[in-house]
Chain A
Amino acid sequence: MQTCFWQPLLLSFKLAAVTTALLLALGAPLAYWLALGKSRLRPLAHAVVSLPLVLPPTVLGFYLLVAMGPASPLGRWIETVFGLRLVFSFGGLVVGSVVYSLPFMVQPIETALASLPVSLAEASCILGKSRWQTFWRVQLPNIRPAVLAGIVLSFAHTVGEFGLVLMIGGAIPGRTRVASIAVFNEVEAMHYGAAGRYALVLLAVTFPVLAALEYYRRRCAQAPVL
């Protein structure tokens, strides 16, 4: 009984941790390109990254379900090459969550990079450093609050997913039944006590993290940057 109760919660936090790590690796370079790149495709790419903010999660989930399913060429290719079937699996949830939480990682980093003085990067470049060295050692460390905001918001947003997870993962206990779905299932079964316990754990974890982030951001805002 105890294992059953904690399983969806552990799955939620595992999904959020894996998603956030992947988002940081993918989102930071993408944010750099969106903020400081020269391509004419940037407005289009920006719109694509922002889509999860306005599309209902079920719409996004539907497209991903169709794209990753065994009937689609992409789904078949992934299954043949990697031996992975993404729909109704943890891997599929990760792919969906990365897409769904992408703007929460990319947008704070992109905004902060765009507002960082260009002259800082120029000073680094004059000192013989490559764009990559400048990004990792000068630009990224100087927008730490934005990176932290991206990490926390992506994590919290992934923990709170419902529609998308239900569409592409179903609610398979131990595999794809995350805490937000467990709350829904318990309410459907009239188990308000269990639903309340899930809800309380989610609230107890996410609220202090968001509050701590806000305090940190205010402290950083008071400290002079240059």
Chain B
Amino acid sequence: MTSAAVRSYGYWATTYKKTWRGSVTAGFVNPLLYLASLGVGLGSLVDKHQGSSSSTLSHVSYLAFLAPGLLASTAMQTGTGESTWPVMASFTWTRQYHAMLATPLRVADIVAGHVAWIATRIFGTAAIFTGVLAVFGTIKSPGILLAIPAAVLVGLSFATPIMAFAATQETDNAFAILNRFIVLPLFLFSGTFFPISQLPTWTHPIAYVTPLWHGVQLCRGLDLGHVSAGSLLGHAAVLLAFTTVGIVVALRTYRTRLET
């Protein structure tokens, strides 16, 4: 990051000092609830029925299968949350982007600072999540530590395209639709809760073109260690592509919005 981008990042860090308690608490409670109800509760049924030797679940308990998938999904949700309303607010409500642009900061610094902040938030959420996993004793390998930066990439692969989109919106109406018709279906059907091999074959290409499936595969692969390095790199490359395209388009839409 340039020093100018660091300065715009400082704004986000300052505002976070007001809200960090709530956000950190939510960071603990959310995975706790999911892992307890689905991982332990539902998972005991699955394991009894299927046996943890099932190749469908990569030969691990359901809880161990679910955990890295949930990590990726949580990263997606953090990335989405941080790139919708906060972006809208900075254009329309607090107008903080306009404030920044009245100073030596450039649009590129403004975008870079905000993306870096969102990455920080996803990192924090993913780190807390991993801590909760350790408590549940589901961590399969030190690879989970690599899953944290992987989760940051998953979150950014959603955040940067959504930032680009949010910059074109006058109201927040579209965000509810985005959550209901994109984020929620991806959460349910991208392999977090069950492998997509359980779905009809024709649905598989849909998973392949959405970032969350790649994110789940990447995080799970790093945790369980059952996937080749080549395919891990492939998944990471897809996520990186979404992130990069998102940044490039965001630079355009931000300029259109701020420099007219």
Q: Is chain B found bound to chain A in the same assembly?
A: no
Report A's interface with B, CB cutoff 8 A. none
